[in-house]
Chains A and B, each alone.
Chain A
């Protein structure tokens, strides 16, 4: 398993040939020689920016050579690969990227190194507080935020303007506007739909549903892990709304098979009035080479239900160090270099990655290159985390099953399904001694 991956990483770097054996052996050699840092990451959307950043790092730290191991794009597949290595105490993993939802598990399992002494409060305070919280577990910090992600509403600014609409404040308003626009455009554009989002049975479904349920004041799991959360009136009403109005009315049923790329493809082809996605979609939707609607896209906080708040799921990635790494100091040098003000600014400008450092949202260069951050900042600050527990993967599977069944089957007894999901989640939380 590791052989082909290393090979792939080597080909990507274009440098891992005969020297790899030599540098692997360098662990025991004198510290004059090069240290090889193995970094498990995804394939970046903009590889050139990362190559340039790595080149800068190598310039600053000539004795550290970074070998990237490219993990799958899907967060779930990435998780399965990385945890497989960490389970086996693999010393050839030095540092890795963590999805915000993995931190509790990685911390409780002892896979991620606590960073409290390396990453002092005086440093942490410069980051968005919810990203630091996402990287913490039981009062200790395990991850340094690479960037922040949160759900956003994308809309066709040209169409809304044509029909005299302002971006919708509530989900009902969104549904009304979409209906009118789709009907009005039908003669010239019969393929236009009202909405596209991510409703496949996978992690993204949890994020989408968290936003619908949260924006009516509901929650995915109860505060103390004992009460029902899904079988509550707010939660049930939100699920019903998604089933009856989003899936059956506004969107194509195909959204039940969509992850981010498929749903974004529909939007950038001009086939949807409204679209829910993460911040990266802005760049794609306005890139004339990849999008038929470049320059016609608006962005707004996600709508809410009357009386509820607008809720955006918190996503994003953090740097973590393996507890089994033999190069923890070098790994920290890498992290502090890459998460520095300067490098985050570089990534914000080059890759339009939403920075996790607060100061960059008032940086003129950043705002010039990525003016959307001005509007997104408030959404980022208020983004809502998914349930934080070491057994999150299991909790997420129960949620995915419940939501997917609720949306895909016409005749499902929603209340019974919700009650059963609540019971399974609470049993799991009790079994593992979690209390909230």
Chain B
């Protein structure tokens, strides 16, 4: 490593430069700028107040803000439930499309369709499906008995479930894809050996597939957690946070503070908090995945 020629070193830097510059401008700068904003008290609608530096006041306000606390809980709930369901379903999808059967290509494509639909479009679709007057959910459940139709999104519990449901529908196949990649690197010989030893299908799944799949599962978990933590579009389109803030997630709360209320400092503080939460979680996961991946590194 250390014996690398200086010229080669220089070339490496040149080749890295575009990617580094891109990351600095589009990833690091916004984060730093958001953090800087979050240390100020800014009401766009009241310029007479100026934009004083207030240290961590916005973060203190957030700690005592019941709405922020609720948004945090709703977000955590959303992350836990949706990622858990997505991993389980993703594993199922991966196992199915890993098998050899005629028409597998079509099934693989079909499984990926939800993921390829833009979230805003999918959200709008789910909003229609859960509509109280012409929604498909009601038609399937109650048919022509219109008076029994349920306004799903008017119930806090159902509204939250609807958002989780829409997310699970949309991204399970993405988790499935990551897990499929993990499945494909498990050598057939291991299964053959197990079969010779008389292991049942169930035993092969628990003793071979799952342990060898752990890195892929963790990777899927990491991606889904990061994504679920910054959920916004589903809420924006389907419920606008309602009813009664039962679907208010942190990113939507931050959006309201920033774009509607003009509270730039407070909104930035919320965004930074979401960023930090994802950052810490990712570090935690990556340490887990990293060590495992290194162990498996081919000799």
Asked if B242 and A201 make an inter-chain contact with CB atoms under 8 angstroms apart, the answer reads: yes
Residues of A within 8 A of B244 (CB): 201, 401, 404-409, 412
Asked if B260 and A397 make an inter-chain contact with CB atoms under 8 angstroms apart, the answer reads: yes
Q: Does B48 contact A (CB under 8 A)?
A: yes
Complex Cα spacing A252 to B152, Å: 12
The A-contacting residues of B in range 218-232, CB under 8 angstroms, are none
Q: Which of A32-40, A115-123, A253-261, A369-377 participates in binding chain B?
A: A253-261
Q: Does B146 contact A (CB under 8 A)?
A: yes
Q: Does A105 contact B (CB under 8 A)?
A: yes
Q: Does B245 contact A (CB under 8 A)?
A: yes
Classify the interface of chain B: helix, strand, loop or mixed. loop
- Residue among B45, B154, B242, B259 making CB contact with A109, cutoff 8 Å: B45
- Residue among B151, B243, B245 making CB contact with A252, cutoff 8 Å: B151
Complex Cα spacing A412 to B245, Å: 13
Residues of B within 8 A of A253 (CB): 151, 154-155
Q: Does A23 contact B (CB under 8 A)?
A: no
Q: Does A295 contact B (CB under 8 A)?
A: no
Residues of B within 8 A of A287 (CB): none
A3 to chain B, nearest CB (A): 18
Residues of A within 8 A of B262 (CB): 83, 87, 105, 109, 393
Asked if A105 and B45 make an inter-chain contact with CB atoms under 8 angstroms apart, the answer reads: yes
Asked if B46 and A391 make an inter-chain contact with CB atoms under 8 angstroms apart, the answer reads: yes
Classify the interface of chain A: helix, strand, loop or mixed. helix
Asked if A433 and B242 make an inter-chain contact with CB atoms under 8 angstroms apart, the answer reads: no
Complex Cα spacing A104 to B147, Å: 45
Q: Mark B139-160, 1 if CB is under 8 A from A, else 0.
A: 0000000110001011110000
Residues of A within 8 A of B243 (CB): 200-201, 256-257, 404-405, 407-408
B137 to chain A, nearest CB (A): 13
- Residue among A80, A254, A412 making CB contact with B132, cutoff 8 Å: A254
Using A190-B147, A256-B154, A404-B243 as known contacts, say yes or no to A433 and B260 having CB atoms under 8 A apart. no
Residues of A within 8 A of B43 (CB): 390-391, 432
Asked if A252 and B132 make an inter-chain contact with CB atoms under 8 angstroms apart, the answer reads: yes
Query: Closest residue of chain A to B266, judged by CB?
Result: A394
Asked if A401 and B245 make an inter-chain contact with CB atoms under 8 angstroms apart, the answer reads: yes
Q: Mark A93-120, 1 if CB is under 8 A from B, else 0.
A: 0000000000011001110000000000
- Residue among A408, A420, A432 making CB contact with B242, cutoff 8 Å: A408
Asked if B259 and A84 make an inter-chain contact with CB atoms under 8 angstroms apart, the answer reads: yes
> What would 16 more interface pairs be, CB under 8 Å, given A108-B47, A408-B246?
A79-B260, A80-B260, A108-B46, A109-B262, A190-B147, A254-B132, A256-B151, A256-B154, A257-B151, A257-B243, A394-B257, A404-B244, A432-B43, A432-B45, A432-B46, A433-B46
Give me the interface of A with B, judged by CB distance under 8 Å.
76, 79-80, 83-84, 87, 104-105, 108-110, 190-191, 200-202, 252-257, 262, 265-266, 390-394, 397, 401, 404-409, 412, 420, 432-433
Q: List 11 A-B contacts (CB under 8 A).
A: A80-B259, A83-B259, A108-B47, A110-B47, A191-B146, A257-B151, A257-B239, A265-B133, A394-B257, A401-B245, A405-B245
What are the 3 closest A-B residue pairs judged by CB atoms, nearest first? Answer: A201-B242, A254-B151, A408-B243
